[in-house]
Amino acid sequence: MGELADISSGITGERKESVPGKIEIITITDTHNDLEAIIRNLRIYDIIDEKGEWKEGTQNVQIVHTGDVVNKKDPDKKNLEYIFHLKATAPESCSVEVLAGNHEMDYLMSTSGEAEEGSERKLIENMSLLSVSGPVMFLHGYPTRKLLRWILSYGSLEEGINEINKQFSEALQESGWGYNEKLKHFLFGDSGDKKSRDNKGEKKNVSEKTGENTGEKIKKVKIKPLFRKTLPLDYYQSHGKEVENLLSKLGIEIVVHGHQRTPMGAQAVGEFKEFLPNTTLINNDVAVSEFKSTKPGEPVAGNKWGSTKITMKSGENGKSTVQEMTFINKNTYQDTQKLSD
């Protein structure tokens, strides 16, 4: 990855000694083809070097990209290759989670065919939908009651996350054969089925492997939504009490997401506190990319600064607690909230 050399030199800090049982989770989101924004927001934590590689001696760090790594209209493969390169080369005590956003899903729904090794589609097929670390959940959009009910239906948080990510991976792979309804309903819910239409507009069943008409009946698959078409404020006014109750049952205290830009270029911390008083929602989409927006009032170029770091420590009982949260953005540069000793 030598071509990344010196892309953001001069912004790194002093690396602290690793503390046993402590992990730093660095979250970025909605980078929309902007590789410089990814590099800049990782280098400030002094975990990667001037060539874009993991810095020697880095320990106990988890990177989470919560979706929209690329722009759906013209995905730049370099961004996908880089984030998965970091995942593949992570030091033993470090890891990288790459979650899919609506841009990745929309891109897959606009293309078809078997994914070639190394292609944009193949890389996106390796993304997950959700990630959880201790009492913190990471996803691209806002948590919905249907999504949380779905997780709870599997009995445990870990089993629910694993099973949903497995089904999501299958939906990503199947989308290449025209079963875009299944992937679509991961976005908006209701029921999806493995059906497509022939040239006459008639429904026909399709083989997953060959794309040929099988004539077999295919059972509809119930898929739960990740995103809502309604505004989050309207949604949580109506369903906030249930959403918070479900999050509590799952042991989730903090949710970090992207998807909807914050208007001030800084993280929205404690969003919708009126309706979710015991849950901290963190909107981490602070417009770090150069993604050009067509919506009135939104920036046409990103500021390239914007990430959230959550420091957690495991207790003797194995339970993880959040010690502090650090927010980096163009307004504050760095703002740390200590939650516990």
Structure confidence by residue, pLDDT tens digits, 260-269:
888 778 899 9
| Span 247-267, average pLDDT | 90
* Structural domain contains residue 212: no
| Span 107-131, average pLDDT | 83
- CA neighbours closer than 13 Å in the CB half-sphere of residue 66: 30
- Within 8 A by CB and 6+ apart from 138, the residues are 27, 64, 66, 97, 99, 130, 131, 132, 255, 256, 257
Tens of pLDDT along 279-335? 999 999 998 886 655 566 655 556 788 999 999 998 777 788 898 999 998 776 655
32 and 65 in contact (C-beta within 8 Å)?
A: no
pLDDT interval class at 276 (50, 70, 90): very high
pLDDT of residue 109: 82
* Structural domain contains residue 102: yes
Q: Residue 290 and residue 306: Cα distance in Å, rounded?
A: 13
Q: Is the pTM of this model over 0.85?
A: no
User: Would you tell me the crossing angle of helices 102-109 and 180-188 to the nearest 10 degrees?
Assistant: 160
* Structural domain contains residue 210: no
pLDDT of residue 199: 36
Q: Residue 165 and residue 128: Cα distance in Å, rounded?
A: 6
Strand-pair partners of 326: 309, 336
Q: Does the structure show a pLDDT above 50 at 211?
A: no
Q: Which residue has the tokens 């976005």?
A: 187
pLDDT of residue 295: 60
* Structural domain contains residue 209: no
- Within 8 A by CB and 6+ apart from 202, the residues are none
Q: Residue 13 and residue 46: Cα distance in Å, rounded?
A: 6
Strand-pair partners of 95: 62
Q: What percent of the chain has pLDDT over 90?
A: 41
Q: CA nearest 137: which of 151, 154, 123?
A: 151
Residue 140: count of CB within 10 angstroms of its CB: 28
- CA neighbours closer than 13 Å in the CB half-sphere of residue 12: 17
pLDDT of residue 84: 95
Overall domain count for the chain: 1
Q: Does the structure show a pLDDT above 80 at 118?
A: no
| Span 81-106, average pLDDT | 93
Strand-pair partners of 97: 64
- Within 8 A by CB and 6+ apart from 166, the residues are none
* Structural domain contains residue 217: no
Measured in whole angstroms, how far is the alpha carbon of residue 157 from the centre of its chain? 18
Q: Does the structure show a pLDDT above 50 at 8?
A: no
* Structural domain contains residue 256: yes
Query: Number of H helices and number of E strands within the chain?
Result: 8, 15
Query: 158 exposed, middle or buried (CB, 10 Å; 0-12, 13-18, 19+)?
Result: exposed
Mean pLDDT of the residues in the chain: 79
* Structural domain contains residue 14: no
Q: Which helix (H) or strand (E) holds 166?
A: helix 157-174
* Structural domain contains residue 284: yes
The full DSSP string for 113-165 is SPPPTTSHHHHHTT-BS-EEETTEEE-SS---HHHHHHHHTTSSHHHHHHHHH
Q: Residue 180 and residue 172: Cα distance in Å, rounded?
A: 9
Domain hosting 248: range is 19-164+226-338
Q: Residue 240 and residue 238: Cα distance in Å, rounded?
A: 6
pLDDT of residue 227: 61
- Token representation of residue 274: 């009126």
Here the CATH number for the domain that contains residue 95 is 3.60.21.10
